[in-house]
Amino acid sequence: MHICLNEFIVFISHGLSVTTIRTTCSVISLDRLAVYEGMISFEKTSVRRFSDKQQPHIMTKTKFLLTLTACCSIIGNNYAQVKSKDGAIIAARPPMGWMTWNYFADKISEKDIKEMADAMVSSGMRSAGYEYVFIDDGWQGGRDNRNNMIPDPQKFPSGIKALADYVHNKGLKLGIYSDAAPLTCAGYTASLGFEDQDAKIFASWGIDYLKYDYCGAPNDVETAKERYKKMADALHNSGRDIALGVCEWGERKPWQWAANAGGQLWRTTGDVRDKWKRRVTEKYGEGIMDIIDANKHLASYAGPGKWNDMDMLVVGLYGKKGPSGDLGGTGCTNVEYQSQMSLWCMMASPLAATNDLRNMNAETKRILLNKEVIDISQDELGQQAIVKIDNELTTIWLRTLKNGDHALAILNRSDTSQNIQCIFETLGLTGNFSIKDLWAHKLIGKGRRWKGNVKTHETKVFRLKAI
């Protein structure tokens, strides 16, 4: 819970004693109540939700003192979601952008990244909502004689600050990468023991996001919590709003602790490969379906400022060799890429494209730039779609949207096309609905059910509006 943090800081510092306080409340998430269990007991009725504009709220002295206790605990331990300078939630919607890793691996350069930033604008990606240019592993050139991290001078001759300025001038944001150990996954300089110094350098360059990896770190969960919190604290104290992406591949169930450690999103699986699913002969390598199945039961952990990260989109890679081509990544069909986009949006995952934005074919653009599907991803309520039906042939998800509409996704998991009927009442939706097909961009009917053909590995996405 995070109530009126800024005001309380003022009250604490002024030592005010009051019987009634007029203050303002921002978003309150009830699931955080557990954090304070045993320390305070809140009546649910004392918690009011203001999801739109901030509104005034009168508190009694007792409630104020209880809340003050909770806020002090937050100030000391936990500021997931409230650390933006203006009080807004950081990463209030799943971050969207383009990430260097699956296309370039560590062979990155400021020239290529600038070209991708240009392409984000000219291709319409920026207008569709893609905002971040995420630099992944391989940018580092070690530390200087004052232990400040420096970029590889060959790859980034103008430095990261100049690149951040370039990207910001285009209305985009810049993400960077490090690791909670001495070296990163690809063997470059990382941040363990230098968290404060690195966070300050990132802030001074104008970085907006940090992907913080976990190669070379111990296996236990307690160390992971400590190391992520250390970096979250450092970012919080850096003087700049920098979102933190936790990347320990879901191995220590980060959905249970990463938000409290200060992360805004956390990977839930190992690295995505450019394949539909792991074949029986393959022991490793996460295909699109493997990630969907790992993530589909984690909906209760997601919400504004705390997202289950399903890893990068492989849309448009078509089996290009490189990281996504390892471990059986031989490419997907356009129908399968459409399913990835559909379900990453339905499940409120961050969206990090990784294809070559400078050379996209029409199908890749159609998939990545589907504004109606992106609107589901970015819906203000931030609800991760909930699985309603799940069997060998099909999985059906439902997601409630801010304006009261529902997003419905129907995936054909099987290897043949299927005629599928979905009766809305079986999903808990009573009444009549207008049905918009968000891939066909058409209102396709009205009623209490949808019936139609779904191709093998296809996902249909509908917007249902009560009528």
Query: Does the protein bind ligand GLA through residue 123 (CB under 6 A)?
Result: no
199 binds ligand GLA (CB under 6 A): no
Q: How many residues bind ligand GLA (CB under 6 A)?
A: 10
For residue 271, state whether it binds ligand GLA (rule: CB under 6 A): yes
Q: Does 395 bind ligand GLA (CB under 6 A)?
A: no
Least distance (Å) between residue 231 CB and ligand GLA: 15
Catalytic position from the list 271, 311, 356, 379: 271
Instruction: For residue 440, give the amino acid letter.
Output: A
Task: Specify the stretch interacting with ligand GLA by CB under 6 A; choose among 21-29, 182-190, 201-209, 364-372.
Answer: 182-190
CB-wise, 184 or 355, nearer to ligand GLA?
Answer: 184
Say whether residue 184 binds ligand GLA (CB under 6 A): yes
Give the nearest distance from C-beta 270 to ligand GLA in angstroms: 7
Q: How far is the CB of 180 from ligand GLA (least distance, A)?
A: 12
Measured from the CB of residue 320, what is the shortest distance to ligand GLA in angstroms? 16
Among 110, 137, 152, 286, the residue binding ligand GLA under the rule CB under 6 A is 137
Shortest separation between residue 430's beta carbon and ligand GLA, angstroms: 43
Q: Is 186 in the site for ligand GLA (CB under 6 A)?
A: yes
Question: Is residue 213 among the annotated active site residues?
Answer: yes
Site for ligand GLA contains 274 (CB under 6 A): no
Q: Which of residues 285-324 bind ligand GLA (CB under 6 A)?
A: none
Nearest distance from C-beta of residue 101 to ligand GLA, angstroms: 5
Among candidate residues 208, 213, 274, 356, the one labeled active-site is: 213
Would you count residue 265 as binding ligand GLA (CB under 6 A)?
A: no
Whose Cβ is closer to ligand GLA: residue 183's or residue 389's? Answer: 183
Instruction: Pick the stretch among 2-10, 16-24, 111-119, 184-192 that binds ligand GLA (CB under 6 A).
Output: 184-192
Q: Is 271 a catalytic residue?
A: yes
458 near ligand GLA (CB under 6 A): no
Among 11, 42, 101, 228, binds ligand GLA (CB under 6 A): 101
Placement of tokens 């099987």 in the chain: 414
Contacts with ligand GLA by CB under 6 A lie at 101, 136-137, 184-186, 213, 247, 249, 271
Residues annotated as catalytic (active site), given as ranges: 213, 271
